[in-house]
Structure 1
């Protein structure tokens, strides 16, 4: 199973027989690549804003540690998609292909790494908030302070190990072993990480609808729920297509699924800021205050402060 089958076929402009040298341009492909590029650029700005806030303006809490790592993952994924889209635009608009096939495998593997890491982080965030609901006393009093950082380190190691295994087998053209490695990776994603993420978010959704109104961090629950929901809508099609590709079954075009995946990686910062900026009358506030409202449900620190909410009730 060739790894580059997961990419859209390179448009090979064909010279016409008219008196002048000209090429047939793939207008639809160029439009999709252009839209993908535009969305990725917006996503890079949004995720860059999250990285700036969590890196220099706001002290991190257990949830924002995951959010920081998720922003790094999305930023990395969007960088690779920008590179891929630019290469395809150059290739489609040129009468002389630039030879992007030799870059396709590496772009796919890098995007695969970022995609898997995003899935793992969303699962960790969802389970963390679910545990805080089901076992509030343990979460407030006995939860290790470095648990988020340790889990993120383990998830980065897992994503690197999975991607390295796929890379070593697929780039060496071991067809059977490559297919086995890819299928095993998708089974890990679909059967190990996806179900806990979905179940935890169902619990969060029920909590938002049926929980008491006092001291209920609804904004944070809504942020997590929307982030996972958009991941299922826009991010999962890429993994489903690549999984079905191993059985020679076509599911959408790879350009479309990469467009959807770009939307998934770009939309998270806007969810944070929109949910945090809306109060009773949806008044607009600064990005930092909006982000703090969404991520720090128990306490809103002052503008420019690096203070974090404190756990209480132990």
Structure 2
């Protein structure tokens, strides 16, 4: 989470190792693995952005996926930049980012690092809220298929994405105003703002996303038992993305929230944080892989273009492939 820069008692000052010591072997390995994962994820999300940006007609979920890819790309870029910046600082000075030596001798580097962390938090918030919106809308399309097909606003996806980006920016601006160094505010005020926003994100977006995904999975399971029909690829892609986020990325939000109460040995803290960073990078980099795995042709055939595979993964209706048996009824539940 974002921290004040002018107090040695803030949790941020204990985020890295003590002054004069360098990162251990474990943290170096985790940092290298995280950077490698970020590079792969940046390439994958960049490919998704390019493929979806040049499509003339985009469905509602394509709009969500496009914005989610942008948020994941921003998150991975900021995370990789943070790790590279800290690794360079340790290699050149032997001190970590929040050591007393860095605070006094390299304040510009520290401020740049804080900007990256704020951008990281922005991208994380947007990604979490977008996954919540995706799972909620897919759940509504299953529970209320007639409303979804006939009365859903045409530009709802674009409006929701714009509102979620605006909300995330507003949260970061308010947080920056309360935690700016030159305001000379009590660190307790910054702590209160950080804590409120952390609980808001974890207590609002995450439960809604988990609940809607659970309802969707139960409804689809019942539909499969009655009709013996496989769920659409879009459902599989959404559910897989949500499960990966809850498993790999949610610990980062919990860690940010609980950072104020963590009272561990400094080396234990930094190993924990680097492990969580690696896990969150896996989550942001896994989404493009999920889309292309889900969208690939089930039956053997000639190699397809990536755009075709992505389109198949994000389409709302089931697609008949060679060897599939046409259904005698319409899947009214949209799964």
Q: TM-score, normalised by structure 1?
A: 0.84
Query: Residues 41-100 of structure 1: CA distance to partner in whole angstroms, max 9, x if unpaired?
Result: 000000001000110146311111111111111111111111111112212323455844
Q: How does 1:16-165 map to 2 (within 5 A)?
A: 26-57=24-55, 59-95=57-93, 99=106, 100-165=109-174
Contact 1:3–1:105 (8 Å) recurs in 2 = no
**108 and 124 in structure 1: CA distance in 2 versus 1, 3 angstrom threshold:** same
| 1:205 Cα deviation after fit | 1.5
| 1:299 Cα deviation after fit | 6.8
| 1:28 Cα deviation after fit | 2.3
Contact 2:241–2:287 (8 Å) recurs in 1 = yes
**222 and 11 in structure 1: CA distance in 2 versus 1, 3 angstrom threshold:** farther
| 1:254 Cα deviation after fit | 1.8
Q: Distance in 2 between matches of 1:282 and 1:230?
A: 29
**27 and 209 in structure 1: CA distance in 2 versus 1, 3 angstrom threshold:** same
Aligned to 1:9: 16
Aligned to 2:281: 262
Residue 94 of structure 1: SS of its match in structure 2? Answer: helix
Q: Distance in 2 between matches of 1:294 and 1:55?
A: 16
Task: Tell me which of 222, 234, 247 is aligned to 2:261.
Answer: 247
Residue 113 of structure 1: SS of its match in structure 2? Answer: helix
Query: Residues 226-267 of structure 1: CA distance to partner in whole angstroms, max 9, x if unpaired?
Result: 111111111111111111112345576222211111111111
Contact 2:34–2:278 (8 Å) recurs in 1 = yes
Contact 2:223–2:229 (8 Å) recurs in 1 = no
Residue 151 of structure 1: SS of its match in structure 2? Answer: helix
Contact 1:70–1:118 (8 Å) recurs in 2 = yes
**222 and 283 in structure 1: CA distance in 2 versus 1, 3 angstrom threshold:** farther
**25 and 229 in structure 1: CA distance in 2 versus 1, 3 angstrom threshold:** closer
Q: Distance in 1 between matches of 2:57 and 2:38?
A: 27
Residue 145 of structure 1: SS of its match in structure 2? Answer: coil
Give the count of matched residue pairs.
Answer: 294
**249 and 287 in structure 1: CA distance in 2 versus 1, 3 angstrom threshold:** farther
Alignment of 1:177 with 2:179, yes or no, is: no
Runs of 5+ unmatched residues, structure 1 = 15-23, 301-311
Alignment of 1:231 with 2:238, yes or no, is: no
**175 and 141 in structure 1: CA distance in 2 versus 1, 3 angstrom threshold:** same
**25 and 189 in structure 1: CA distance in 2 versus 1, 3 angstrom threshold:** closer
Runs (4 or more) in structure 1 with deviation over 6 Å come to none
| 1:216 Cα deviation after fit | 6.3
| 1:214 Cα deviation after fit | 7.7
**3 and 211 in structure 1: CA distance in 2 versus 1, 3 angstrom threshold:** farther
Aligned to 1:21: none
RMSD after superposition = 2.8
Contact 1:162–1:185 (8 Å) recurs in 2 = yes
Residue 154 of structure 2: SS of its match in structure 1? Answer: coil
